[in-house]
Structure formats: structure tokens, C-alpha cells
Amino acid sequence: MKNLKGTSMRTEMHNLDGQGEQEVTVYDMPANSDYWLAVTDVVCPKCKKGKVLWAEAGHVPGYRICNNNQCGQHFLAKGSTQHPTLVEFPDRVGFW
């Protein structure tokens, strides 16, 4: 797992579920020359214990879930190679 050095967080308004905008937490992840490596198999920025895993299953590009059973936070990978982010789904927790 990569460490959390360079990770910061803020809140923004996003419409993640088509039900209207709501305030969500956005984690700025450390840049990597490969965007997907910056947002996959990294230490969970919320619990700092689990690993954020790929969980798209062919349905939602960028969907990620923390594998720590006490956390299980769901995220959506956003941003760019220079500024990768993980956007927290506020009402979704639980590992699959």
C-alpha cells in the first residue's frame, strides 16, 4: 500500500447519485505518473488502515471501496493524472 503523504481533504458539492447536489468529502491524492495507480490499491484516506480497491465490476467507471471491514467507505475516482482525487459517497459503506 502506498502511504498517505501528500493527501489532503476538502468538501465540495457533487451530484453522485442523480438525486441532486450534496456536500461530500473530496480527498486529494498524491500525483502519480499513472492516474489509476494514484487512486487504486492505496491506503484509505478516511480510515488510514484499509486499502482502496477497484470495484467497478463493469458498471461505474472509477468506483472504489475500502477493504477495511470497520470502514468500507465507497469512493469515486475523479480528477486527473496531475490532481487525482477520491470522492466519498456519503451514504455508502460496507465492503461488497
**Reported pTM:** 0.86
Distance between CA atoms of residues 24 and 91, nearest Å: 10
Distance between CA atoms of residues 1 and 20, nearest Å: 34
How do residues 18-46 score in pLDDT, each as one tens digit?
A: 889 999 999 999 999 999 999 999 999 99
How do residues 46-74 score in pLDDT, each as one tens digit?
A: 999 999 999 887 678 899 999 999 999 99
Location of C-alpha cell 489532503: 8
Question: Grid coordinates in use for 39?
Answer: 487512486
Domains of the chain: which residue ranges? 8-93
Amino acid identity, position 6: G
